[in-house]
Amino acid sequence: MKLKVITSNPGKVEEYRRSFSGLGIEMEHLRLPYDEVQTSDLSEVVSKGMDEIIAKGVRDFIVDDSGLFVDALKGFPGVWSAYAQKTIGNQGILKLMDGVEDRGAEFRCCIGCDIAGERIIVTGVCRGVIIDSERGSGGFGFDPIFSQDGVRTFAETPVEEKNETSHRGNAVRLLMEEMKRRGLVRGR
């Protein structure tokens, strides 16, 4: 079985390949632009994206969206995380958090999968805190300012270890469990 991973990020395709290798699913990279609806709900963004992709005649695919939701900022940047990263970056988030006691935040990743005519949408979450300054050289995006354990940032955590507890890792595991539950795949 083959699934198309619809993304502009080749690194995501490799993550999916590694995750799904034990299930006998081949991952193929497909760059296919689609509109992301403007809403504060990741699952709605993914669902509407899936509708548009299916309307273009594409089946058997994975699409995802993720974001950083900061408690003290009422969920900002949330679904607008990519835009916030491009415009204000990590330093902008840190400036917004300057003097704020409640540092709680979570990364969320919503994955939509169209497989064998079935539609699956799952969301993985990873709770943590926004630290006071950027640390680490690994990862990307908000990784240098997010710490799950209050000690190391995601940018300081080895990739394999990060994937064990990250929002995307959690979402991928939920997706695989649901695929198995529905009898769509077998394997580990």
Q: What is the pTM of this model?
A: 0.92
Sheet with 118-130, side-by-side order of all strands:
26-30, 2-6, 61-70, 104-115, 118-130, 146-147
Q: What is the pLDDT along the chain (188 residues), one digit of tens a residue?
A: 899 999 988 878 888 888 888 888 899 999 999 888 888 899 999 999 999 999 999 999 999 999 999 999 999 999 999 999 999 999 999 999 999 999 999 999 999 999 999 999 999 999 999 999 999 998 889 999 999 998 999 999 998 888 889 999 999 999 999 999 999 887 66
The structural architecture, per CATH, of the domain 2-181 is Alpha-Beta Complex (3.90)
Tell me the two tokens of residue 126: 């990873």
pLDDT at 74: 97
Could you identify the residue written with the tokens 């899936």?
Answer: 50
pLDDT at 163: 85
Q: Is 114 a catalytic residue?
A: no
pLDDT at 181: 94
Q: Catalytic one among 35, 41, 65, 98? A: 65
pLDDT at 21: 82
Q: How far apart are CA 62 and CA 67, in angstroms?
A: 17
Which SS3 state, helix, strand or coil, does residue 29 take? strand
pLDDT at 146: 98
pLDDT at 22: 82
Which regions of the chain does DSSP assign to beta strands (E)? 2-6, 26-30, 61-70, 104-115, 118-130, 146-147
Domain ranges of the chain: 2-181
Q: How many CA atoms lie within 13 A of 110 on its CB side?
A: 18
> Is-contact 156 133, C-beta < 8 A?
no
